[in-house]
Homo-oligomer: A and B are copies of this chain.
């Protein structure tokens, strides 16, 4: 078997321009980058006269639903097998599990991704771990297609970039990220409206849940860490959902002096999901991996089974206090 390798973007563009039918596969639990990059590619391919669809296997998350302008379908009707299947913003079949058979039915397979952990595994691959978002790669790819990036394609790319860079604030943001954003403004992308659609559309129940989580917050490890929880009871009382805790975990991290924030989420009485965020130094990915989970260096998590929220909390506080004593204390 030939070893898979990274290809030139131009090879991938050639393959796409040679195709008549293209199916696009973003990962499950779609975020702004997966959906934005997929929508932009689909719009560009249609502009080039191709039959193209974004294939999904679950309802679109609220936050990104506005990006679907007729691109997404669970059952694409094609006359025969697709010419090309592209997986976007992911690099493993288990990131689109229910669509694997359809994906493999394509004559040619392509991966476009920016996750550092992805290695080439398809016929053609373009993986750039230095790209802040897959949408950055997609900007270059669509530019090479020569169809012209318009406000619709550009808006989808913008949503991808703004999501994966945390509004241009994460350390993955580069000079290139801003140069692309400048170009997207130039083609008429309504950036402020996209920001409203992405970030100003939270459920009231989420806010009430956040109120409770912030109210339960407790500093430990000499103020260098903070812990809070959301129990089944708190969910019932507020109407919040466990998939809505991202922002509030970051609010905990953003407390002065705090390096590490922990949020315990009671999925069921003895299944506790632990979300961890760090500011500068603490490797939460490594800690989560030790506990059977994973993630990024500054945002990761794991699941603790067989213990109550209180028991998980006590154990975590003990362990993390010890770990934090080994992490450099920043100057005041």
Interface residues of chain A, those whose CB is within 8 Å of chain B, are: 162, 167-171, 173-179, 181-183, 185-186, 191-192, 195-196, 199-204, 207-208, 210-215, 217, 219, 223, 226, 251-256, 279-280
C-alpha gap A169/B256 in the complex (Å): 24
C-alpha gap A58/B57 in the complex (Å): 57
The residue from B167, B200, B279 contacting A167, defined by CB atoms under 8 A apart? B167
C-alpha gap A170/B190 in the complex (Å): 11
C-alpha gap A182/B217 in the complex (Å): 38
C-alpha gap A253/B173 in the complex (Å): 27
C-alpha gap A155/B204 in the complex (Å): 37
B200→A171 contact, CB < 8 A: no
B170→A254 contact, CB < 8 A: no
A256→B202 contact, CB < 8 A: yes
C-alpha gap A220/B25 in the complex (Å): 41
B173→A191 contact, CB < 8 A: yes
The residue from B201, B217, B253 contacting A200, defined by CB atoms under 8 A apart? B253
B192→A170 contact, CB < 8 A: yes
Report the minimal beta-carbon distance from A100 to chain B, rounded to whole angstroms: 34
The residue from B181, B192, B226, B251 contacting A178, defined by CB atoms under 8 A apart? B181
A185→B191 contact, CB < 8 A: no
C-alpha gap A191/B174 in the complex (Å): 9
B215→A254 contact, CB < 8 A: no
Residues from chain B with a CB closer than 8 A to the CB of A252 are 207
| Smallest Cβ-Cβ distance to A195: which chain B residue | B169
Q: Can you name 15 A-B pairs with beta carbons within 8 Å?
A: A167-B168, A168-B168, A169-B192, A173-B191, A173-B192, A175-B182, A175-B186, A178-B178, A178-B181, A202-B256, A207-B217, A208-B214, A210-B211, A211-B211, A212-B215
A207→B255 contact, CB < 8 A: yes
Residues from chain B with a CB closer than 8 A to the CB of A179 are 178-179, 182
Report the minimal beta-carbon distance from A51 to chain B, rounded to whole angstroms: 29
Residues from chain B with a CB closer than 8 A to the CB of A171 are 191-192
11 additional A-B pairs beyond A169-B191, A203-B256, beta carbons within 8 Å, are: A162-B168, A168-B191, A169-B195, A173-B191, A175-B186, A179-B182, A201-B254, A201-B256, A202-B254, A204-B226, A210-B214
